[in-house]
Amino acid sequence: MGRPPCCDKEGVKKGPWTPEEDILLVSYIQENGPGNWRAVPTNTGLLRCSKSCRLRWTNYLRPGIKRGNFTEQEEKMIIHLQALLGNRWAAIASYLPQRTDNDIKNYWNTHLKKKLRKNESNSHPNPQNQRSQSSLSSPSSPENRNSSSRGQWERRLQTDIHTAKQALTDALSSINQKPSSNIHDSSLSGSNPCNNQTQASSIYASSTENIARLLQGWTSKVPKKESSSSISTDYYSLGSTLENDHANSREQKPIFNTDLLTENNDRVFRSLFGTIESTESPYSDFSQGTMSPEASLFEQESKPSNVGRGTTLSIIEKWLFEDCSIQQCGSNGRDEDLTDMPLQEHADFL
DNA sequence: AATAATGACAACCGCAGCTAT
DNA sequence: CATAGCTGCGGTTGTCATTAT
């Protein structure tokens, strides 16, 4: 026998989440921590399946998510990681800690794919350069492997990997140089990071974004080491300094601006948490420097894949630098022969 | 002004691997 | 060990907003 069934298919609600549902979910996770999704619909009264709850949390409500406005650096990383890893969006997302796999996937499908195709067609107007199509889908896909000889494919893969590593090196060094670059700037700034694109987004969208901000307020409550000038607005920081810094580097002020809430949300919030005064949030204890177990749970879970945390970036950096040094000392200069550099073309136009 | 086409993104579906029973 | 549910992932669809006609 297996486990009991996850959720009834009957009476399960579908479609967009309402602010009320978001708040129910958030408040439940705040109390119980993420995980055990099977129990969530039952315990919250949400008429959603566990899968939907998990998805809503990981793609939208989870703290530390940055939305919209992909930076050039992020674009480059996505392009090269896609070339390196194929359509493994979760793996790619693990290198962009503020982005969800869904977000990256959408961005790839709606922006980057077109951009690359356009670029390809500009630089290779003749129809025999059909490889651009296949390289856009996945360089490691079986059909690509079949379409060229094994030797050619392996050579290209080597090249692609090398180029991707180079791009990652560039990206990482640039991140290290500019720790407060625009990758980090929007989450707590109070401005809508999606403003350019979604100026006309619905009240609902902005409310849920506010919920995410609220969560950020709940979970970013670590005592300030110094009344720091630098507002590190990032939930995570990239690079090797993350482990030491990220607990101290976050803006502390809890965001409980009830003006941001719709009247409806406000009502639900008040029913859930009582009256919210501007100077005193129901979670004001957090801001006094004591992180609740739930908050640390958020911290641990907020990026589910452990691949994506700073430690891994350090590993990657190590990997990159080791590889670079090998190539520098190295011997055969094998790359010189590899003139077929599709990835470089992709990077150049950015 | 009305309608169609397109874009952007949230959410769903189905599959595969893992794991509890 | 076998079975069936849980979870995560990638592909796809649905919906709403914007732009073009």
Per-residue pLDDT of chain A (350 residues; tens, 9 = 90+): 444 444 445 677 888 888 888 888 888 888 888 878 888 888 888 888 888 888 888 888 887 788 777 888 888 888 888 888 888 888 888 888 788 888 888 888 888 877 777 676 666 554 434 333 333 443 333 333 333 333 444 444 444 455 555 555 555 555 455 443 333 333 333 333 333 333 333 333 344 455 555 444 444 433 333 333 332 333 333 333 333 333 333 333 333 333 333 344 444 444 444 433 333 333 333 333 333 444 444 444 444 333 333 334 444 445 444 443 434 433 333 333 333 334 444 444 44
Q: How many Å is the Cα radius of gyration of chain A?
A: 23
The answer to whether some atom of strand C lies closer than 7 Å to the beta carbon of A264 is: no
The answer to whether some atom of strand C lies closer than 7 Å to the beta carbon of A140 is: no
A200 CA from C18 C1′ (Å): 9
Scanning A33-88, the segments in alpha helix (DSSP H) are: 39-44, 50-56, 72-85
The answer to whether some atom of strand C lies closer than 7 Å to the beta carbon of A13 is: no
The answer to whether some atom of strand C lies closer than 7 Å to the beta carbon of A88 is: yes
Q: What does the alpha-carbon distance between residue A152 and residue A220 come to, in Å, rounded to a whole number?
A: 50
Nearest to A329 by CA among A338, A319, A337, A321: A321
pLDDT of residue A165: 57
- Strand C: positions under 7 A of a protein C-beta atom: 3-12, 15-18
Which secondary-structure segment (H or E) carries A338? none
pLDDT of residue A122: 65
Give the predicted TM-score (pTM) of the model: 0.56
The answer to whether some atom of strand C lies closer than 7 Å to the beta carbon of A305 is: yes
- Contact assessment for residue A258 and residue A251, using Cβ atoms and an 8 Å cutoff: no
- Matching residue, tokens 């992020």: A74
- Matching residue, tokens 């809508």: A192
Q: Near strand B (CB < 7 A), which residues? A: A 1-3, 13-17, 48, 51-52, 55-56, 59-60, 67-68, 102-103, 105-107, 109-111, 114, 194, 197-198, 205
